[in-house]
Chains A and B, each alone.
Chain A
Amino acid sequence: MPREQFQNLTEPMYYILLALLDTCCGVDVMEMVKQLSGGRVHIGPGTLYTLLARFEQEGIISETKSEGRKRWYRITRKGTELLREEQERLKIQLADGERRMEGRIL
């Protein structure tokens, strides 16, 4: 799970939220994540089911429609903010890393 309840997003969480910037059916998320990550990140169906349930419970995503047992989700405002915060954190992390690697900081 997210370390300390969504403080930092794990890689699969991050990509799931990216995928859900568009309305997406649960199962299609798996394919979308694969595409977005260039085939690097795979999310198993069991893991996806658990993460979607938790995101929905926390109000990070919401169900937009359902047909039978098929459900479509979309990221909420809270989820989008979380995603932006995560991106900012990653940017800072990357910049710090680059500066250090280039010897610009101690």
Chain B
Amino acid sequence: MKWCLREFKLLELPAMETWFQKMAAKGWLIQRIHGGNFFGFEKMEPSELVFSVGVIGNMSVLSAENCEESLSYREYCEQAGWTFACSNRVIQIFYAQKADGLLPIETDEQLKFEAVWKQIRKAVIGQSLLGVLWLFLAFRFLDAESLLRSSVLFSSMLLISCSLIFLLDSIRILCWYWKGKWALKTGHGIRYCGWKKHAIYGTLWLGIEFLIIILCLGYMFTGSLRNGIYRLIYFVLYLLFLLLLQWLIRKRGFSKLGYSVLVTGGAIALVIVMMVVWDTLTLSGISNKSGIEIRDESWLLTLEDFEVPEGPVGDAILEQDSSIFGSRQEYHVWQEKTYSLDYKYYETEAEWLMERLKGELLTPYKSQYDEIHREFILKPQETYEDVKISCMYDRYTDEEGRVLEEHFWSYILETSGRLLQLNFSGSYELTEEELLYRAAERISVKEKGMGI
């Protein structure tokens, strides 16, 4: 058996027929379809066969391959001289020797149009909803800081691309539907996507799917090894679940309720399995932080730069990331509850992004305890070389603008293309001013070899 990978939409029935015909002329007869995209051909004598691909309008996509509807449909077609080749859900493929008097399977264009639309509209609704949801999610979580996280940026781009593909495909199908309605009204023939158009769309679609898979695999291994393994396991499990679902539908079929229960149950099971996998990864040591060196040279600043003697670390949150827009570091280290150093550092050449990053830093998080009139304000302090040093204050005001409360929040150090939000506490040997200058030295663009 020879397997070919192709992407056909329901609008491309004539293209499908032409392809099977061409393959038959070369000595390959279509025998099986798996997963909608894998077409299995068996060797035979090259023959001049005609093919007909029918769509059963009253059959559910959740029905078994050999359900009552499909068996009856095949019976009718076989009685009319057609031979059943194979099926893929609602699509039924038949062939016959070229002969005079062979009746086409569909003789009513409107009925065929209705059957195709009835089946394809579910896909249109599903993929449109998914497209809108993904677009919403992508933009909802894509803040300025995310643009400096390659993994978030990558997944957002992936979501946006998939959403646009889904939405554009839905628009294409809707255009076909309205054109078809108009054609029926005016007595013209309905135009389906033929072989030439399919060659363009099909290749494009397959290319996009291939690209998405590559991007997914790339995304899986951005960041830590732990995340890579976790995502890969999740991807494989998800794929296996989909294959199992497809196999079950093909073999026994489901009612809408049964299918919903199965999908919900499957999703819950996947989440539970993933929690177990996550725990296993953590326990196996793949996910512990032993590999992260808090005094690593890659950090903009470490406690060592503040002349703090080495000692056991109480707690640490360490993140470094970069993307095409720039890079970011997040460093929070508490050493023996005596010293603490925490900062967020951004580096980007894009001025608009720097403005947005600064805006996000100056926007207080909203919580149920926050007053309505809470804001962060900057009070410039001094300048060290090219670095502007400011103090950031958390200020509460009443409705008339009177200051109710104001307290120090953090230092902000900024220079061209670099922004640092800094906080430190503890009994350092250096003065506060000296500590700030050390930090300023590090981000100064006049200094050599600085930056991430």
Q: Do A and B bind each other?
A: yes
User: Interface on A for B, CB 8 Å cutoff?
Assistant: 1, 10, 12, 26-27, 30, 42-51, 53, 69-71
Q: How far is the CA of A12 from the CA of B73 in the complex (A)?
A: 18
Q: Is B60 an interface residue, CB under 8 A from the partner?
A: no
User: Interface on B for A, CB 8 Å cutoff?
Assistant: 52, 54, 56-58, 71-73, 75-77, 79-80, 82, 103-108, 110-112, 114-115
The smallest beta-carbon distance between B113 and chain A, in angstroms, is: 10
Flag if B115 contacts A42 (CB, 8 Å).
no
Partner of A1, one of B103, B105, B110: B110
Q: How far is the CA of A27 from the CA of B103 in the complex (A)?
A: 13
Flag if B108 contacts A30 (CB, 8 Å).
no
- Once A69-B72, A70-B75 are accepted as A-B contacts, the answer to whether A42 and B103 lie under 8 Å apart by CB is yes
- Once A50-B58, A53-B58, A69-B72 are accepted as A-B contacts, the answer to whether A45 and B110 lie under 8 Å apart by CB is no
- CB within 8 Å: A-B pair count: 68
The smallest beta-carbon distance between B359 and chain A, in angstroms, is: 58
Q: How far is the CA of A26 from the CA of B105 in the complex (A)?
A: 14
Flag if B58 contacts A46 (CB, 8 Å).
no
Contacts A26-B76, A45-B79 known; 5 new A-B pairs at CB < 8 A: A46-B54, A46-B105, A46-B112, A47-B107, A47-B112
Flag if A50 contacts B80 (CB, 8 Å).
no
The smallest beta-carbon distance between A24 and chain B, in angstroms, is: 13
- In the complex, chain A residues whose CB is within 8 Å of the CB of B108: 10, 12, 43-44, 47, 50-51
Flag if B71 contacts A44 (CB, 8 Å).
no
- Once A53-B58, A69-B71, A69-B72 are accepted as A-B contacts, the answer to whether A47 and B77 lie under 8 Å apart by CB is no
- In the complex, chain B residues whose CB is within 8 Å of the CB of A71: 72
Flag if A46 contacts B106 (CB, 8 Å).
yes
Q: Which residue of B lies closest to A48 (CB)?
A: B76
- In the complex, chain A residues whose CB is within 8 Å of the CB of B106: 44, 46-47
Flag if A44 contacts B103 (CB, 8 Å).
yes
- In the complex, chain A residues whose CB is within 8 Å of the CB of B111: 1, 47, 50-51
Flag if A45 contacts B72 (CB, 8 Å).
no
Q: How far is the CA of A57 from the CA of B114 in the complex (A)?
A: 17
Partner of A44, one of B57, B72, B80: B80
Q: Which residue of A lies closest to B71 (CB)?
A: A69
Flag if A45 contacts B114 (CB, 8 Å).
no
- In the complex, chain B residues whose CB is within 8 Å of the CB of A46: 52, 54, 73, 76-77, 105-107, 112
- Once A69-B72, A70-B75 are accepted as A-B contacts, the answer to whether A45 and B80 lie under 8 Å apart by CB is yes
Flag if B71 contacts A45 (CB, 8 Å).
no
Flag if B75 contacts A44 (CB, 8 Å).
no
- In the complex, chain A residues whose CB is within 8 Å of the CB of B72: 49, 69, 71
Q: How far is the CA of A70 from the CA of B79 in the complex (A)?
A: 10
Q: How far is the CA of A71 from the CA of B104 in the complex (A)?
A: 22
Q: How far is the CA of A67 from the CA of B277 in the complex (A)?
A: 54
Partner of A45, one of B57, B58, B76, B112: B76
**A-B contacts, 19 listed (Cβ < 8 Å):** A12-B107, A26-B76, A27-B76, A30-B103, A43-B103, A43-B107, A44-B104, A45-B77, A45-B80, A46-B54, A47-B105, A47-B111, A49-B76, A50-B58, A50-B108, A51-B111, A53-B58, A69-B72, A70-B75
- In the complex, chain A residues whose CB is within 8 Å of the CB of B52: 46
Q: How far is the CA of A56 from the CA of B56 in the complex (A)?
A: 16
- In the complex, chain B residues whose CB is within 8 Å of the CB of A26: 75-76
- In the complex, chain B residues whose CB is within 8 Å of the CB of A27: 75-76, 79-80
- In the complex, chain A residues whose CB is within 8 Å of the CB of B105: 44-47
- In the complex, chain A residues whose CB is within 8 Å of the CB of B112: 46-47
Q: How far is the CA of A13 from the CA of B57 in the complex (A)?
A: 17
Flag if A30 contacts B75 (CB, 8 Å).
no
Q: Which residue of B lies closest to A50 (CB)?
A: B111
Q: How far is the CA of A79 from the CA of B104 in the complex (A)?
A: 27
The smallest beta-carbon distance between B94 and chain A, in angstroms, is: 9
Q: How far is the CA of A70 from the CA of B394 in the complex (A)?
A: 81
Q: How far is the CA of A71 from the CA of B110 in the complex (A)?
A: 25
Q: Which residue of B lies closest to A29 (CB)?
A: B76
Q: Which residue of A lies closest to B68 (CB)?
A: A69
6 residue pairs, one from A and one from B, having the closest CB atoms: A44-B107, A45-B76, A46-B105, A27-B79, A45-B80, A47-B108
Q: How far is the CA of A20 from the CA of B110 in the complex (A)?
A: 22
Q: Which residue of B lies closest to A28 (CB)?
A: B79
- In the complex, chain B residues whose CB is within 8 Å of the CB of A47: 105-108, 111-112
- In the complex, chain B residues whose CB is within 8 Å of the CB of A53: 58
Flag if A45 contacts B115 (CB, 8 Å).
no
- In the complex, chain B residues whose CB is within 8 Å of the CB of A10: 108
Flag if B79 contacts A50 (CB, 8 Å).
no
Q: Which residue of A lies closest to B110 (CB)?
A: A1
